[in-house]
Structure 1
Amino acid sequence: MTPAVVPHPTLSRERERETIGETMGETATDAAPLSTRLEKAVQTLSPRNAGVTLNLVFDGETARRGTAEPTSISEGGALAAPHLLKRMPRAVDAQGQEVPAPTGLRALVRTHYLGILHDTAFKTFFSAWVTATLAPAQAGLYVSLATGLFTAPYLLLSAWAGRLADRTDKARLINRLKVVEVGLAVGGAVALALGSPWGALAVVAALGTRSAVMSPAKYSLLAERVPADKLGGANGWLELSTFLSLVVGTAVGGALASWGAGALASVGFGAAALLGWWTSRTLLTTGAPVTPPAAGSSGPAPKMPAKLVRAGLAIAFFWLLSSVIQMNIFQFGAQTLGVGTGMVTGLLTAIGLATGTGAVLAGKLSKDKVELGLVPLGAAGVALFLLDLGLFGGGSVVRAFIDLSLLSVSAGFFYIPLNAYLQQESPAEARGRFLGLANLMTFAAILGSAGVYWLLATALTLTPAAVFTASAALAVAAAVPTFWFLRGPLKDLFRRVRA
């Protein structure tokens, strides 16, 4: 056996490389298999020369000659350099082509879907349950508290949740929060069995807290796992699952409440939580290795660039306008279209499904990049179809349905590229914090939408149709700067279409 090399304490790093390289012989060359270099390294390893020896193993001949720059290994840090990871053995198919590491995208989409399904179904069941069993004034108080307590954590915890996502393993954080969700499902079942509105309200607040903490981790993990040229499409599928879960959760929660099926509801909520935890386990075993968080990632967040602030504000405006439309749709159906709650529910379902469809189409059209050229087109579509709905949609349910559907598809074109851009352009070491700030903007806008709707419908006493027309004016006002700031990507999009 070759004796271990114990360098002299004053031996230079360059001479140390040469000495160890000579001892390791030909196995230090780039051509030698990694397994051979590892075996030889064991024979030469000592506490003093560990860093240089590992560099020889992974960097090969260039490190032995001392021409390679010191890596984080030679400096005593963790294995973080991406070029080292590329030299590790990878899976190959029958033709010898490298098989990319599974991203876990499907597991993330399923985990996301089941979480929102559980949240929405439980909130809807709770609202319908208290409405059916309590006096109107008391039920209204509970419903208002449920909305506020579910939303408040997004305002209070988004910045902290972003910092947490930046300094922890995001997949493991999501998995642990899904375990918490299972516990909350059990707590909800107990509250419903005891007939305790306050207990169920506490579960609603806890579900909102869990969702707020998980949100930056989910979207940061998406940007980590999915290549940049696939990020638009991945966001499209994720948002389709968002709107599907909202539609299905509302329908399921309302149906279970109308049947008085509290026990069945508890079983269903528990099943959704358990399945969500199960799918989140896949996230722990998929995805390529990721560079550990930077040492300063837990410190003050770097300043958010102006381009990302604009993207965050545009996303917040999307949700503000969406909330105003949803609040106005019931009055529009009753006063303008003259239809009942069932038809209005159908219109809301169309909005959710069409927005999800627009999200997927935006992802498909983005192809191999984040296509910001779609954003101005989406803004124009939202303004155009919202204006048509306000001026002419009141005379026909069919026309209102078409306007709302096309409006929602346009909204997907507007929202998805901006969301993907925000994820892609945020630096990895601060991505969670930037996404957390964007969440803060979004939910501040959602709360602000109540004030906007009050101003239009109550203070200005506008009819429901006129509220849509005024909302179209807001959409036009937002579309103008959108076209200005994104005129370059829009021209590039038209150029590619003509080609």
Structure 2
Amino acid sequence: MTTTTTHLLGTRRFLPLFCTQLLNAFNDNLYKTAMVLFVVYQVYNNEETEGTFSAVASGLFILPFFLLSALAGQLADMRDKARIIRMVKACEIGLMLLGATGLVLAWRGIGTHSLAIPLLLLALFLTGVQSTFLGPIKYAILPQHLKRDEVLAGTGLVEAGTYIAILAGTILGGFLPIEIAAIGIIGTSLVGYMVSRQIPAAPPLGEVEKLDWHILRASVALVRNTMHNREIYYAILAISFFWTIGAVLFIQFPPLAKNVLMASKEVASLFLVVFSVGVAIGSVSINALLKGQVSARYAPQSVIAMGFFVIAFYVVCLFWEADQPTQLLGIMEFLGWPMASVLLLCLLGIAIAGGMFVVPLYAFLTTRARPDQAARVIAANNIVNSGAMVGGSVLAMGLSMAGVEITEQLLMTAGMCLVSAWLGRRLLVAEREAADALAATTG
């Protein structure tokens, strides 16, 4: 840990923001993991129904990004960012009370289908609303509070803290009894709000414009105004298609783990942990390869490698089905089953390759945008991303309802990686053209 990093963790202009983001990521993942795994493992006993529920849950969480990102981006650039964070964190207490009520009702078997599950899905939708408004601020507030030579260290700390929080929330969501998870999400939301009150003010940097409350018009204008830069344009398209693949994979995952791999919810939680670790490894690896340079030169190869690992995962699942366990496996039983290590390595490979593909693309958004418009560029990306992910959720839900087996849907995911590779190649061409144009201007 560098001197700059150590110094930042002791300052009020960074530590409260860092802790608020960490607690937010932890609570989101604790709730989502506990809710989805409980419903899939304890409520439903049908692969088609489980796949449909997983798709509906993913779609509801993503939908606010599509509807409200334009407003969130405007607010983040034109209002005090710290005040917005405090307001959103205060609302989180209420939505987590709602989610906790749904968890307890489902645990007690009270109105499971008529009341508990609708409450759980409503709270998940509101969690998506919360993340929509916090997302642009996370990227745009650091340059205001940190010195120029501190921004990279601060960004690295926030990303590292987020990964740790995701891992912790995912692990506890899979292992904690559901009633304890309900208490945990309420307590975490209260602590998160108290910490957020310590974040220093972050007023707008540019000219304060009038907010456009017309959701559709503002969204169209925001995306149109952002897409004139070809590097940002192709980065957003590539990120969006990547997360379409991610949405389909995450929808397939819980029912596949339960019905094909015969894995308990603790093992399913382990899978999510492996995936998060893999993305983190991929992020570090690509940064080392690029040596700090923002470039898409490894993007096509990375996503093709991801498709290869998806196919390998599919093949392992076929072998697994040929010698399928007769009951759900705990962690030790799973690790002792033939092919378990190969399965985990395939999953790790998918995540590492995915992290290597997508992380540099986000850097294009923050380095090619003007500082006073950074939040709106991120918001435009969120709009396109969420639209693509909702499309992926609808596609996965349709395939499940049509009776296409979860295992066979993996092949479609692998095929989609080829489209992502083509988009990554287009971004690389745009990057080189921009570099040539800059060289011609300065030379």
1:102, distance to aligned residue in structure 2 (A): 4.9
Match among 164, 178, 181 for residue 265 of structure 1: 181
Supply the distance in 2 between the matched residues of 1:162 and 1:360 (Cα, whole angstroms). 28
1:118 corresponds to 2:11: no
Matched residue, 2:411: 466
Deviations 1:3-34 (A, max 9, x none): xxxxxxxxxxxxxxxxxxxxxxxxxxxxxxxx
2:60 counterpart residue number:
149
Question: Can you list the C-alpha shifts for 1:83-133, whole angstroms capped at 9, x where unaligned?
Answer: xxxxxxxxxxxxxxxx99958444333322221322232233334555577
Secondary structure (helix, strand or coil) at the match of 2:411 reads helix
2:198 aligns to what SS in structure 1? helix
* Structure 1 runs not aligned, ≥5 long: 1-98, 492-499
* Counterpart Cα distance in 2 of 1:148 and 1:326: 11
Structure 1 or 2: larger helix share?
2
Residue 325 to residue 231, structure 1, CA distance change in 2 (3 Å): farther
Deviation at 1:405, TM superposition (A): 2.4
1:131-280 equivalent positions in 2, closer than 5 A: 146-190=57-101, 192=103, 196-197=115-116, 198-226=118-146, 234-256=154-176, 259=177, 261-262=178-179, 264-280=180-196
- What is the deviation of 1:229? 6.2
Q: How many corresponding residue pairs?
A: 382
Matched, 1:377 2:298: yes
* CA displacement 1:131-176 (0-9 Å, x = unmatched): 5775768986876654443322111111111111121111221122
Q: Tell me, yes or no, if structure 1 residue 322 matches structure 2 residue 265.
A: no
Distance 1:136 1:409, change over 3 A: closer
1:473-488 equivalent positions in 2, closer than 5 A: 473-487=418-432
Change (3 A) 1:164 1:133: same
Query: Is the Cα contact below 8 Å between 2:306 and 2:354 reproduced in 1?
Result: no
Query: What residue in structure 1 maps to residue 360 of structure 2?
Result: 417
Deviation per residue, 1:156-211 (Å, 9 max, x gap) = 11111111112111122112211221233334445555655144443333222222
For 2:86, give the aligned amino acid: N
Q: 1:355 to 1:234 in 2, by over 3 A?
A: farther
| Partner amino acid, structure 1, of 2:294 | L
Contact 1:244 1:356 in 2 (8 A): no
Contact between 1:121 and 1:252, CA under 8 Å: does it hold in 2? yes
The 1:172/1:135 distance shift into structure 2, 3 A limit, reads same
Contact 1:167 1:293 in 2 (8 A): yes
TM-score (norm 1): 0.63
Distance 1:404 1:205 in 2: 28
Name the larger-Rg structure.
1
Of residues 416, 421, 446, the one that matches 2:389 is 446
Corresponding position of 1:390: 311
Go from structure 1 to structure 2 and tell me whether the alpha carbon gap of 1:295 and 1:475 turns closer, same or farther (over 3 Å shift): closer
Q: Relative to structure 1, is the Cα distance of residues 228 and 331 closer, same or farther in structure 2, using a 3 angstrom cutoff?
A: farther
Amino acid at match of 1:321: I
* Letter of the structure 1 residue corresponding to residue 34 of structure 2: F
Coordinate RMSD, CA, aligned: 4.1
What does residue 207 of structure 2 align with?
294
Q: Per-residue deviation at 1:344?
A: 5.2
The 2-side partners of 1:247 and 1:435 are apart by 24
The 1-side partners of 2:45 and 2:404 are apart by 27
Unaligned stretches of 5+ residues in structure 2: 1-7, 213-217, 317-338, 437-443
How many percent identity over aligned positions?
Answer: 22
> Is the 8 Å Cα contact of residues 236 and 360 (structure 1) preserved in structure 2?
no
Whole-Å separation in 2 of the counterparts to 1:477 and 1:433: 26
Match of 1:340 among 255, 263, 273: 263
Quick check: 162-171 or 143-152, which moved more? 143-152
Which is worse superposed, 452-461 or 419-428? 452-461
State the TM-score, normalizing by the size of structure 2. Answer: 0.70
Q: Does 1:312 align with 2:312?
A: no
Partner Cα distance (1:440, 1:267) in 2: 33
> Which whole-Å CA distance do the structure 2 matches of 1:184 and 1:109 have between them?
22
Letter in 1 for 2:280: G
Task: Tell me by how many angstroms 1:227 deviates.
Answer: 5.5
Change (3 A) 1:383 1:334: farther
One-letter amino acid of the counterpart of residue 478, structure 1: L
